[in-house]
Amino acid sequence: MNIILLGAPGAGKGTQAVRISEKYKIPHISTGDIFRKNIKEGTPVGLKAKAYIDKGQLVPDEVVVEIVENRLKEKDCKNGYLLDGFPRTLAQAEALSKITDIDAVINLDIDLKLLADRLTGRRICRDCGESYHISSFSGSECTKCGGEIYQRDDDNIETVNSRLTVYENQTKPLIEYYSSKNVLKNIDGGQDIDKVFEDIVKTL
Ligand code: AP5
Ligand code: MG
Instruction: List residues with catalytic annotation.
Output: 13, 88, 122, 152, 163
Output the pLDDT for position 129: 82
Contact 121, 147 (CB under 8 A): no
- CA 13, chain centre distance (Å): 5
Distance 13 CA to ligand 2 centre (A): 5
Determine the Cα–Cα distance for residues 88 and 33; give it in Å rounded to an integer. 15
pLDDT of residue 130: 86
Phi, psi of 82 (to 5 degrees): -125, 115
Could you tell me the pTM of the whole model? 0.95
Pocket test for ligand 1, best of 86, 110, 133, 143 (most atoms within 8 A of CB): 133
pLDDT at residue 128, as a whole number: 85
For the chain, what's the residue count? 204
Residues by chain with Cβ below 5 Å of ion ligand 2? 13-14
Nearest to 35 by CA among 54, 18, 8: 54
How many whole angstroms from 9 Cα to the centroid of ligand 1? Answer: 4
User: Residue-wise pLDDT tens for the chain (204 aa)?
Assistant: 999 999 999 999 999 999 999 999 999 999 999 999 999 999 999 999 999 999 999 999 999 999 999 999 999 999 999 999 999 999 999 999 999 999 999 999 999 999 999 999 999 998 888 889 999 999 999 999 999 999 999 999 999 999 999 999 999 999 999 999 999 999 999 999 999 999 999 999
Spatial strand order in the sheet of 131-133: 131-133, 122-125, 149-150
Q: pLDDT at position 62, please?
A: 97
* Alpha carbon distance 49, 59 (integer Å): 6
